[in-house]
């Protein structure tokens, strides 16, 4: 199927597209829906939306991005914003960052800025630095000849920074750089393929992205099956953008996902880690999680967790994961810090808890049982998603401190309170209390301990029963949601 056959679109959005094209197409002499063929893919004539017909103004663009855009323009190059920032601006949202594209080659871009450096091996990009802010500038990219060839992935591009490895960049660049049209069609979704041109402040739409933005539709550019096979991560991106934007997946975009989900197993775990953070630290983790499960994608990120979720315990579904994600969303939306250590601790807790229980049943002490369970779950998880040591170590601490939070007699509470992971462990305890897995009284004790002075703390410790357990453990039970979101970080 042609990449942009309008027949693939819903009747409603088709109407919008045609109307837009007729009123705004400024390329004379071409029929409004002309298709240009380049190799395997079909490219639409662009639709140009002039500045007075869209809502983007320069006031919404970061000063640094404007500096880069203007410098490129003054040097005579094409100079445009592209991707998520244009999409978000068109929706009246604040972009996370600003990506610039140009027809200038990396060396040419570098010469324009003092603080520029070339990064990436296969596809070289330029980072222009302004203090802590970095504006990424890419040269228009060609459609890969060979479909099995690398798709665009920012992580792989930025991996292995190499500023000076210029053996013969010209020869390499020849294959990877392309026209603006080619750059547009190798992007993933129509709404991600919009450009904002600093020359005339117009928005350029090659793929029907504006109509899809208006209709709230997420649509793959080209044939979804092919595009997911080229890069299975696009299935995760589809779900992420649908959740973040509140968009519906267009029918053909959604259709192959379930069947192709197993392709995620071939994605390098390091790239999966980056994607997991984008999926769950973007402020829409709960919706994203639900969509991931709906499409059968979640099991390729967290297979052991998926298994735990499938069986119900004492008749009640396991609820820690969605609770944790709701809390993470609340924190992200309050601009509070979040850490992957806590995210993974929550995601993997249920399998760890189950395995720990099995070890204990076989007679192991709880310390060793936790160690063994954590060891095994982490090893399995790493086959799918990398968890760098700097996160897996604190993750395991959060788990092992759960037992210690119950043992508070003598100096134990004071020592635990000094632990640098205390706060995260306490936050994790609050989550477990929310789902009825740990005792409210224990959480209340620790909440109070943190607020009172030294003398009261001593009194609190003395008051604990000699067993130091803070009361009997509750069985898991269903609880109504408490308004208070526990914090973590
Ligand atoms: P966010 O707001 O999350 O940053 P984004 O759309 O900017 O969303 P990025 O991952 O920053 O997403 O990628 C920037 C742009 O690069 C995308 O908008 C899209 O055009 C293109 N892109 C990124 N990843 C892919 C991919 N795997 N396949 C095709 N195009 C991609
Ligand atoms: Mg982006």
User: Ligand 1, atom 16: nearest CA belongs to which residue?
Assistant: 83
Sequence-ordered list of residues with C-beta below 8 angstroms from that of 206, at least 6 positions apart, any chain:
43, 44, 46, 47, 181, 184, 185, 193
Per-residue confidence (pLDDT) for residue 56, from 0 to 100: 97
Asked if 311 and 196 sit in the same domain, the reply is: no
The verdict on the CB of residue 188 being under 6 Å from ligand 1 is yes
Asked if 74 and 207 sit in the same domain, the reply is: yes
Within a domain: 482: no
User: Within 10 Å of residue 363's Cβ, how many Cβ atoms?
Assistant: 7
Domain end position, chosen among 222, 248, 277: 222
Asked if 101 and 215 sit in the same domain, the reply is: yes
Q: Is 188 annotated as catalytic?
A: yes
CATH value at residue 136? 3.30.460.10
Atom of ligand 1 nearest to the CA of 187: 30
Ligand number with the minimum distance to the CA of 236: 1
The verdict on the CB of residue 231 being under 6 Å from ligand 1 is yes
Per-residue confidence (pLDDT) for residue 40, from 0 to 100: 43
The verdict on the CB of residue 234 being under 6 Å from ligand 1 is yes
Asked if 193 and 335 sit in the same domain, the reply is: no
User: Ligand 1, atom 15: nearest CA belongs to which residue?
Assistant: 83
Atom of ligand 1 nearest to the CA of 227: 28
The helix (H) or strand (E) run that includes residue 116 is strand 116-119
Asked if 59 and 172 sit in the same domain, the reply is: yes
Asked if 34 and 183 sit in the same domain, the reply is: yes
Per-residue confidence (pLDDT) for residue 317, from 0 to 100: 61
| Distance between first and last Cα of the chain | 48
Q: What domain range is 29 assigned to?
A: 6-222
CATH value at residue 325? 1.10.3090.10
Within a domain: 268: no
- Give me the tens of pLDDT residue by residue for the chain, a chain 489 residues long: 333 223 233 333 322 222 233 333 333 333 333 344 444 445 568 999 999 999 999 999 999 999 999 999 999 999 999 999 999 999 999 999 999 999 999 999 999 999 999 998 777 899 999 999 999 999 999 887 544 444 444 444 433 333 334 444 444 455 689 999 999 999 999 999 999 999 999 999 999 999 999 999 999 999 999 999 999 999 999 999 999 999 999 999 999 999 999 999 999 999 999 999 999 999 999 999 999 999 999 999 999 999 988 876 555 666 899 999 999 999 999 999 999 999 999 999 999 999 999 999 999 999 999 999 999 999 999 999 999 999 999 999 999 999 888 888 777 877 888 888 989 999 999 999 998 889 998 888 888 988 988 888 787 878 886 554 444 444 444 444 443 444 444
Say how many Å lie between the CA of residue 362 and the centre of ligand 1: 49
Q: Using CA atoms, how far apart are residues 157 and 274, in angstroms rounded to an integer? A: 13
* Identified catalytic residue from 20, 103, 188, 231: 188
Structure tokens at 60: 């919404």
Say how many Å lie between the CA of residue 74 and the centre of ligand 1: 27
Asked if 187 and 327 sit in the same domain, the reply is: no
The verdict on the CB of residue 154 being under 6 Å from ligand 1 is yes
Q: Using CA atoms, how far apart are residues 205 and 84, in angstroms rounded to an integer? A: 14
The verdict on the CB of residue 274 being under 6 Å from ligand 1 is no
Within a domain: 253: no
Q: Ligand 1: which of 80, 83, 267 to mutate, judged by most atoms within 8 Å of the beta carbon?
A: 83
Within a domain: 163: yes
Per-residue confidence (pLDDT) for residue 147, from 0 to 100: 43
Say how many Å lie between the CA of residue 67 and the centre of ligand 1: 22
Within a domain: 468: no
Report the candidate in 483, 484, 395, 480 with the shortest Cα–Cα distance to residue 436: 480
Asked if 10 and 122 sit in the same domain, the reply is: yes
Within a domain: 313: yes
Q: Is 444 annotated as catalytic?
A: no
Please tell me whether residue 66 adopts helix, strand or coil conformation: helix
The verdict on the CB of residue 153 being under 6 Å from ligand 1 is yes
User: Ligand 1, atom 21: nearest CA belongs to which residue?
Assistant: 187
Residues with CB under 5 A from ligand 2 (ion): 84
User: Ligand 1, atom 8: nearest CA belongs to which residue?
Assistant: 84
Report the candidate in 321, 327, 474, 342 with the shortest Cα–Cα distance to residue 421: 342
Within a domain: 311: yes
Number of structural domains (the chain) is 2
The verdict on the CB of residue 183 being under 6 Å from ligand 1 is no
> Is the distance from CB of 81 to CB of 98 less than 8 angstroms?
yes
The verdict on the CB of residue 108 being under 6 Å from ligand 1 is no
Domain end position, chosen among 222, 254, 287: 222
> Is the distance from CB of 282 to CB of 292 less than 8 angstroms?
no
Asked if 26 and 146 sit in the same domain, the reply is: yes
Atom of ligand 1 nearest to the CA of 97: 4
Asked if 207 and 74 sit in the same domain, the reply is: yes
Sequence-ordered list of residues with C-beta below 8 angstroms from that of 83, at least 6 positions apart, any chain:
99, 187, 192, 193
Asked if 310 and 209 sit in the same domain, the reply is: no
Asked if 36 and 181 sit in the same domain, the reply is: yes
Report residue 481: phi and psi, to 5°. -65, 130
Domain end position, chosen among 196, 222, 248: 222
- What's the half-sphere exposure (Cβ side, CA atoms, 13 Å) at 136? 19
Within a domain: 259: no
């Amino acid at each position: 199927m042609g990449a942009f056959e309008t027949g693939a679109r819903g009747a409603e959005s088709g109407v919008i597209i045609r109307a837009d094209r007729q009123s705004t197409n400024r390329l004379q002499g071409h029929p409004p829906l002309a298709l240009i063929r380049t190799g395997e893919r079909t490219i639409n004539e662009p639709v140009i939306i002039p500045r007075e017909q869209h809502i983007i103004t320069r006031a919404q663009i970061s000063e640094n991005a404007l500096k880069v855009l203007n410098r490129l323009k003054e040097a005579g190059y094409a100079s445009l914003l592209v991707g998520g920032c244009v999409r978000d601006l068109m929706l009246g949202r604040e972009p996370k960052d600003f990506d610039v594209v140009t027809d200038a080659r990396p060396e040419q871009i570098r010469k324009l800025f003092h603080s520029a450096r070339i990064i990436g091996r296969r596809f070289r990009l330029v980072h222009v630095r302004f203090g802590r802010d970095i504006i990424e500038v890419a040269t228009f990219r060609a459609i890969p000849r060979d479909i099995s060839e690398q798709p665009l992935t920012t992580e792989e591009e930025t991996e292995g920074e190499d500023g000076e490895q210029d053996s013969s960049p010209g020869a390499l660049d020849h294959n990877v750089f392309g026209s603006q049209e080619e750059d547009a069609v190798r992007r993933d979704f129509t709404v991600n393929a919009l450009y904002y041109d600093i020359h005339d402040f117009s928005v350029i739409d090659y793929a029907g992205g504006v109509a899809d933005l208006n209709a709230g539709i997420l649509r793959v550019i080209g044939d979804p099956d092919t595009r997911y096979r080229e890069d299975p991560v696009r299935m995760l991106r589809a779900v992420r953008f649908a959740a973040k934007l509140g968009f519906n997946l267009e029918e053909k975009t959604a259709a192959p996902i379930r069947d192709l989900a197993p392709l995620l197993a071939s994605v390098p775990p390091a790239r999966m880690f980056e994607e997991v953070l984008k999926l769950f630290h973007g402020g829409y983790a709960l919706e994203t999680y639900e969509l991931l499960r709906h499409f059968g994608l979640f099991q390729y990120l967290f297979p052991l967790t998926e298994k735990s979720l499938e069986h119900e315990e004492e008749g009640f579904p396991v609820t820690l994961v969605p609770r944790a994600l709701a809390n993470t969303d609340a924190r992200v939306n309050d601009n509070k810090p979040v850490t992957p250590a806590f995210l993974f601790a929550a995601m993997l807790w249920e399998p760890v808890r189950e395995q720990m229980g099995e070890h204990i049943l076989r007679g192991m002490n709880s310390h060793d049982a936790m160690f063994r369970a954590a060891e095994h779950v982490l090893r399995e998880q790493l086959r799918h998603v990398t968890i760098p040591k700097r996160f897996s170590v604190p993750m395991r601490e959060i788990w092992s401190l759960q037992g210690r939070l119950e043992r508070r007699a003598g100096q134990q509470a004071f020592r635990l309170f000094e632990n640098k992971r205390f706060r995260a462990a306490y936050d994790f305890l609050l989550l477990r209390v929310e789902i009825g897995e740990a005792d409210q009284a224990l959480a209340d004790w620790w909440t109070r301990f943190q607020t009172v002075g030294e003398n009261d703390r001593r009194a609190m410790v003395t008051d604990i029963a000699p067993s130091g357990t803070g009361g009997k453990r509750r069985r898991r039970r269903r609880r109504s949601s408490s308004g208070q979101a526990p914090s973590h970080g």
